[in-house]
Structure 1
Amino acid sequence: MADASKKMSLVGLTTLVTVNMMGSGIILLPTNMAQLGAVSLLSWVFTAIGSMAIAYCLAQCGVFCTRSGGLSAYTEEAHAKSGFFLCSYLYFLSLAIANVAVAISAVGYMTAFVPWLGSGAIPLCVGTIGLIWLTTIANFGGPKITGKIGAFTVWGVIIPVAGLSIFGWYWFRPEVLMAAWNPNQLPISEAISKAIPLTLWAFLGMESAAQATDAVENPRRNVPLACLFGTLGAAVVYVLSTTVIQGIIPNAELAKSSAPFALVYGSLFGPGVGSVVMALAVMACVGSLLGWQFTLAQTAKMTADQDLFLKLFGKVNAMNAPVIGMTVCALLQTVMALSTISPDAAAQFGRLVSLAAVTNLIPYITALTGLLVIMHKAGVGPAVYTRNMVVLLVAVGYSLYALHACGLEAVMGGTLVLAIGYLLYGFLGQKFTDSASTLKPPAPLSNNGSNATR
């Protein structure tokens, strides 16, 4: 048994959860939310509550189900082997889509240093694909190098965003926020719904907390608390930063920016500081993309190890990096970048975020329903069962609402890839069928043409 003194504390795990979520999720959000108006800030209330409920339930899954596989393993508890495959398949696609969106965020901030990248659809696409391949190749060195780089670069976004959340209020002007409140004159319910995919995007990755159970002191207590506190901490920073920025920069200017945080720092402290923030944001996005590229490849490897993905995804090099799988993932993301090509980084980002949210929400829902079976197997007491059930209903309710809010196009796209997933599993399912339980031939017909016996 590992020395308890070497395990992670509640404070350490909470910090880890917050850092994992923040990454690059906030980088382009102010621009997309400004296009809806400051009224979109109300969606943070629903997303923060829903995300904390999801994070808590996934943490409970991790506490009572110690199998490897994360979301897919929890799903299999309730939905058998096909559930494992479909959850992994959709989560894999959601990560691939999200990685393209992160690459677009980085390129949006890079335009200040390389203006050509922002001169049209082709340059933006070239920059995005180039960044995808750069971070893929950088991962060939294995997880140790990836972890060290990611732990350092993530602070490039956390420091300026958290700093603005605290000190930006000195320059905040309520009249600027009110002028930006609802420029499109949308009904409040519609504005909130349209912003849900954007705010949910910022919380994707909260499921990572449950993966650290083995390295945490008193995991049954600290993992759920770290999920809640970490998600709440990220929510506070998100709400404060996106609110204060809409009270500093006029809405029309903010809605057109490809680098909103650099814009606000530049307007407050001069273009030199704005350039530094841009450089930090690019660094953070590249580091975040580096980590998520590895997570994407590891998700494929884990599924291949279960004989549910092609074997090539499971092959690793001497540095324990699934190089072939990473290359295939990069090719897939290249196709995604080409298929969503747009001259407007924010518009392309918004479409990808909605689709990523849909393909992530379905695995959330299937994993959450697995908690019911997991608790039954673990024999939890009535108090724990009731508490978790209430939180579970909140989590699933929010997830269903968020699916609806992602819009017809994104939900249709998610439904199509889910249907394709069922077809793919049809070819794989025979591997997991017990030959002794195959269907028996029908009984012979009697003289009167029926199967009835005398």
Structure 2
Amino acid sequence: MAGDRDSSDPRLRTSAGSLGLMAAVALVMGNMIGSGVFLLPASLAPFGWNGVIGWLATISGALVLAFVLSRLTHARPSAGGPAGFVTEAFGRRAGFFISWIYLVSLWTSVVTIAVAAVSYLSSMMPFLGRGAYVPALAAIALLWLMTLINLRGTRAAGGFQIVTLGLKVIPLLVVIFLAVYVVSSGQASLPRFDATEVNAGAVNGAATLTLWALLGFESASVAAARVRRPEVNVARATLWGTALTGVLYLMVCSAIALLLPRDQAAHSAAPFATFVSRFLDGDVATLVAIFAVISCIGALNGWTLLEAEMVRDMAARRLLPAWFAETDARGTARRALLISAVVASLFAAMNASRTMQALFEYLLLLSTSATLWLYLACALAALKLGVARVPALVGTLYALWTLWGAGIGASGLSFVLMVLGLPIWLWLRRSDVD
């Protein structure tokens, strides 16, 4: 195809990676652990043990896809990430449309997380939840705060990610240790497992809910150009980060959903706080809200890094104007970072008339369904390139299952958004941007 270039093109590579293994693991885990874990126990409570099985299915699928990405990174290190794998397997056109829909998912994800952070902040500062435009403006302010941190360089963003990850796992560990204590002391007991209550529909419903919480395991692969020794560290960060996050999520969400009375868990607006306050004295709602805000801000930082890196990578591959690929002395793609912040701000502003909950749910649905296309394309690319074919086949089936589980409305909307990139593609082909 005219305009294609070798994936080893030096413009695809940036300055020496600024993220070591620990920072890369923190990027994966920090992007996965955001707002979902603090709300999911309430949504999963009605599913009972079906929710646990749903978690196991989602974690297994995510680990398979994470393994496929790690093997692709090892087998095709010059590809530079998921977009490169798809381009090598199916050509520049497929690489553009998959990259485009994933970029859209990044823009909507950062707004989703920012809105969730503002939602938690509003419990401590009620004025943030008032009116039609205050929540959106507060979310935009958070978007630009994270942009400023990333403008200081990848090393600064990576350090911030490590710190926030260390803080955000504290409430998760508290819940796990508290759950072990209350079960061992007889204060509460797990409901009896009844195999007759397990059904495919409920498991699929639970797995669809848990999917949002596990999005982001591809983070180290997307940011491979920023990782030191990517041929080794990207695979480790992807697999370790996915496995550790999956175990934390499984234990925490299952403990809250199963140990609280089902009606109480299902109708709790803050299931974490409800669980801790039930078994410990004191008002913990404010403390949980603080950790939830920290969790969201850490995830927002990591996704901000990824959206800028995705724009830079697409520009380096001639999938966007090359102007966006330029980096400063620190290796920061300032233009890509700033344009991403502007676009994300526009997403928030355009939906400012929605209520906070409606805005969150709308963007959550959009970003989740949009990301699934990348997972499917990478699994198919591995099959085409002959890399980890059995896991790739399993990953393909899992990705198709999740697209079906997301519903025709969500998957159809994300496909429409993919097609909306057609004018950009046609313009790139016509002008042969360099």
TM-score relative to the length of structure 2: 0.81
Matched, 1:154 2:175: no
CA distance in 2, matches of 1:425, 1:316: 24
1:411 corresponds to which residue? 411
Contact 1:32 1:350 in 2 (8 A): no
CA distance in 2, matches of 1:74, 1:208: 15
Alpha carbon RMSD of aligned pairs, Å?
3.5
CA distance in 2, matches of 1:308, 1:38: 45
Contact 2:50 2:206 in 1 (8 A): no
Q: 1:408 to 1:158 in 2, by over 3 A?
A: same
1:343 corresponds to which residue? 355
Give the C-alpha shift of residue 150 in structure 1.
Answer: 1.4
Specify the SS of the correspondent of 1:52. helix
Any idea what the Cα deviations from partners look like across 1:381-400, whole Å, max 9, x if unmatched?
xxxx6xx2221111110100
Contact 1:31 1:260 in 2 (8 A): yes
2:4 corresponds to which residue? none
1:329 to 337, 340, 344: 340
1:292 corresponds to which residue? 303
CA distance in 2, matches of 1:40, 1:340: 33
1:96 to 94, 97, 107: 107
CA distance in 2, matches of 1:153, 1:308: 33
CA distance in 1, matches of 2:270, 2:135: 14
User: Where does the alignment leave 5 or more consecutive residues of structure 2 unmatched?
Assistant: 1-18
1:380 corresponds to which residue? none
TM alignment of 1:49-64, pairs within 5 A:
49-64=60-75
CA distance in 2, matches of 1:278, 1:242: 17
TM alignment of 1:299-318, pairs within 5 A:
299-316=310-327
CA distance in 1, matches of 2:381, 2:85: 5
Give the C-alpha shift of residue 309 in structure 1.
Answer: 1.6
Any idea what the Cα deviations from partners look like across 1:288-338, whole Å, max 9, x if unmatched?
212211210121112122232244533545654444433332332233334
TM alignment of 1:38-437, pairs within 5 A:
39-119=50-130, 122-171=133-182, 188-210=199-221, 215=228, 219=232, 227-316=238-327, 319-337=330-348, 338-339=350-351, 342-343=354-355, 345=357, 347-375=358-386, 388-430=388-430
Please identify, of 50-59 and 147-156, the stretch whose mean Cα deviation from structure 2 is larger: 147-156
Any idea what the Cα deviations from partners look like across 1:27-49, whole Å, max 9, x if unmatched?
33224434766643432122111
Please identify, of 422-431 and 47-56, the stretch whose mean Cα deviation from structure 2 is larger: 422-431
CA distance in 2, matches of 1:316, 1:256: 49
CA distance in 2, matches of 1:373, 1:416: 25
Specify the SS of the correspondent of 1:113. coil
CA distance in 2, matches of 1:250, 1:121: 35
- Report the count of equivalent residues: 407
| Structure 2 letter corresponding to 1:390 | V
1:29 to 35, 40, 47: 40
Please identify, of 258-267 and 91-100, the stretch whose mean Cα deviation from structure 2 is larger: 258-267
CA distance in 2, matches of 1:343, 1:263: 25
Q: Which has the larger radius of gyration?
A: 1
CA distance in 2, matches of 1:318, 1:108: 37
Q: 1:252 to 1:125 in 2, by over 3 A?
A: farther
Any idea what the Cα deviations from partners look like across 1:223-260, whole Å, max 9, x if unmatched?
65664444232222111111111234444554455543
| Structure 2 letter corresponding to 1:94 | S
CA distance in 1, matches of 2:306, 2:111: 14
CA distance in 1, matches of 2:57, 2:66: 14
Q: 1:270 to 1:110 in 2, by over 3 A?
A: farther
CA distance in 1, matches of 2:49, 2:132: 28
Q: 1:189 to 1:281 in 2, by over 3 A?
A: same
Contact 1:313 1:324 in 2 (8 A): yes
Contact 2:23 2:158 in 1 (8 A): no
Specify the SS of the correspondent of 1:27. helix
Q: 1:217 to 1:318 in 2, by over 3 A?
A: closer
Give the C-alpha shift of residue 356 in structure 1.
Answer: 1.4
Contact 2:26 2:162 in 1 (8 A): no
Please identify, of 366-375 and 114-123, the stretch whose mean Cα deviation from structure 2 is larger: 114-123
Specify the SS of the correspondent of 2:77. coil
CA distance in 1, matches of 2:53, 2:126: 34
Q: 1:322 to 1:365 in 2, by over 3 A?
A: same
| Structure 2 letter corresponding to 1:51 | A
Any idea what the Cα deviations from partners look like across 1:113-155, whole Å, max 9, x if unmatched?
1123345654433332332233223333222221111110122
Contact 1:71 1:87 in 2 (8 A): no
Q: 1:349 to 1:36 in 2, by over 3 A?
A: farther
Contact 1:54 1:395 in 2 (8 A): yes
| Structure 2 letter corresponding to 1:343 | T
Contact 2:102 2:374 in 1 (8 A): yes
Give the C-alpha shift of residue 280 in structure 1.
Answer: 2.3
| Structure 2 letter corresponding to 1:339 | N
CA distance in 1, matches of 2:127, 2:137: 10
CA distance in 2, matches of 1:35, 1:223: 37
User: Where does the alignment leave 5 or more consecutive residues of structure 1 unmatched?
Assistant: 1-6, 376-384, 434-454
CA distance in 2, matches of 1:37, 1:122: 38
Contact 1:47 1:196 in 2 (8 A): yes
Contact 1:95 1:292 in 2 (8 A): yes
| Structure 1 letter corresponding to 2:403 | L
